[in-house]
């Protein structure tokens, strides 16, 4: 039996509210994270991802109260990212009820965090979040994709492909790959980048940035080689339910977990 492909909903959180922007800009606040989490749980989503999108930029810890409230309300796995820069913070997030922690900017600054987290909690709990932007190919960035940190604000000069390979070696158990160029545009995922990363690592890859219709998710997990596809705008604004997305993917021959809803 083929491994099931996952549909994951991303909830960016700012000042305690779910928010959404385009290419990391122009964010609009939408509502309460717990209400959104319950909605997608009922619709049959496989996992949720919560990002405190300004924690790193504002150099502060993330929203543990939100994590606890979500954990008390839903039945599905979820991961949390944003401002997680120490083992103590990872432990606090996991104890608050998350199944995984997502490390992005802090891991770039201190890659040893990945190894420390994997040793303490298991690689299955450690997700590497990568925000990548297409740039000119150079000797320093041979893939043509650069890692950008602090919520898309700060270029690093690091090659995205080299970074995901290093991160796997250091202990990351999964990669959430967000393409800044397609984020929120809803014209489809960055399939070139997704396939490049999926072929370079052995751990699961989540395609993120650009989902606008179910066919885009099908392309991400087939052409792009991803193990899962992450969506936000297309469900937040009511264009599709999770169930509708999965039904369309199944009709395209993609193995997914179908639910009654």
- Which one from 131, 159, 183, 227 is the annotated catalytic residue? 131
Give me the catalytic one of 12, 41, 52, 183. 12
- Residue 131: active-site member: yes
Q: Please write down the HEC assignment for all residues of the chain.
A: CCCCCEEEEEEEEECCEEEEEECCEEEEEEECHHHHHHHHHHHCCCEEEEEECCCCCCCCCCCHHHHHHHHCCCCCCEEEECCCCCHHHHHHHHHCCCCEEEECHHHHHCCHHHHHHHHHHCHHHEEEEEEEEECCCCCCCCCCEEEEECCCCEEEEEEHHHHHHHHHHHCCCEEEEEECCCCCCCCCCCHHHHHHHHHHCCCCEEEECCCCCHHHHHHHHCCCCCCEEEECHHHHCCCCCHHHHHHHHHHCCCCCCCCCC
Catalytic residues: 12, 131
């Amino acid at each position: 039996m083929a491994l099931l492909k996952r549909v994951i909903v991303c909830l960016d959180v700012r000042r305690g509210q779910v928010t959404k922007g385009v290419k990391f800009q122009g964010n609009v606040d939408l509502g309460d994270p717990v209400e959104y989490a319950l909605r997608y749980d009922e619709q049959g989503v496989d996992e949720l991802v919560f990002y405190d999108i300004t924690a790193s930029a504002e150099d502060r810890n993330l929203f543990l109260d939100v994590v606890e409230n979500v954990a008390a309300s839903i039945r599905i796995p979820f991961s949390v990212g944003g401002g997680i820069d120490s083992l103590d913070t990872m432990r606090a997030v996991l104890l608050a009820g998350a199944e995984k922690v997502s490390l992005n900017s802090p891991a770039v600054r201190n890659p040893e965090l990945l190894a420390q987290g994997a040793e303490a909690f298991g690689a299955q709990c450690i997700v590497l979040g990568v925000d990548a932007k297409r740039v000119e190919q150079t000797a320093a960035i041979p893939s043509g994709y650069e890692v950008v940190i602090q919520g898309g604000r700060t270029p690093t000069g690091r090659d995205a492909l080299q970074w995901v390979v290093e991160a796997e070696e250091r202990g990351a158990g999964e990669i959430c790959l967000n393409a800044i160029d397609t984020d929120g545009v809803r014209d489809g995922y960055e399939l070139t980048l997704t396939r490049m990363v999926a072929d370079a690592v052995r751990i699961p890859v989540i395609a993120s940035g650009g989902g606008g219709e179910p066919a885009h998710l099908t392309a991400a997990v087939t052409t792009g080689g991803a193990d899962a596809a992450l969506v936000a705008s297309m469900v937040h604004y009511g264009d599709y339910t999770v169930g509708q997305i999965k039904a369309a993917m199944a009709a395209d021959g993609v193995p997914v977990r179908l639910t009654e809803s």
